[in-house]
Amino acid sequence: MIRPVSHRLLLRYGVLAAAAALVCTSCSGSGGNAAQSLASAAASTSAAASSSAAPSADPLDAAAIKAAMKKATAVHAKGSDGGTTFDMQINRDSVSGSIEKDGAVVPLVRVGDKVWIKFTRGMAKISGRPAGARSPLDDKWVSMDSPMTQGFGEELKLFLDFDVFVSGMASEIDQPGFGTGQPADVAGTFALRYENDSTTVFIEAVEPHRVLRLESPKQGTMEFSGWDQPVPVQAPPAAEIYSGPGS
């Protein structure tokens, strides 16, 4: 059974914590704390209201929105919680994208049930490696099934599972206290803006009413586009996959 993962857990304890812990463990020899909270983000500026577009405001129809999300085949997701951002194409059978933390970019790929992350030189900063020091992992893709991941790979795989990701987004729609929608514009798309005490949700104003944006002063921002537009993803070339000690 796939266990539900909320938007908060996705940003705070999922792919970000797993990647950061793996970097610290592999490159500096010190253990990472996979449960360490990340810095909260300031609330993003709300989308500007559209004067001519969206239909009259209605209560949030959570059931219809969740049903549309669960039928989807793909989505492009971008998010930030302050010091960490991610940008990923999430298909049902694959994922590609990157995480950036403190200026260090971590590319990642999932194909089927296999996941890899790429060790870039920029990761030296967050791993505590001395400037200019090299590692056999540099510019190599590392399998999240390898012993060196010390179990963090499972958290990463969970985050990159399409159904788990969508369920996490759906859990935000289930929160109580949303008022009626107000007309808004999200990157040129007519939308309805709903708010409660902790979250602002932007929904497509027309069917199938997909989620376009989530904002939270404490948890950060997530943006969604390209629903039902899968982008092909390929596994890293064998020559670029790390095969040294610990692999």
Q: Which domains does the chain have, with CATH numbers?
A: 62-225 (2.50.20.20)
pLDDT in tens, 1-37: 334 444 443 444 345 444 544 544 444 443 333 222 2
Question: Confidence band (pLDDT; 50, 70, 90) for 64?
Answer: confident
Q: Does the model's pTM come out above 0.85?
A: no
| 205-235 pLDDT tens trace | 888 888 999 988 877 888 999 999 999 999 9
Query: Could you give the CA distance from residue 163 to residue 71 in angstroms, rounded to a whole number?
Result: 10
Helix axis angle, 162-173 to 62-71, nearest 10°: 170
Q: What is the mean pLDDT of the chain?
A: 74
- pLDDT of 68 strictly over 60: yes
Sheet with 141-143: strands ordered across: 141-143, 114-118, 104-111, 94-101, 84-91, 74-80, 220-225, 211-216, 200-204, 189-195, 182-186
Average pLDDT of span 109-125: 83
pLDDT tens-digit profile of 133-147? 677 778 889 898 888
pLDDT number for residue 102: 72
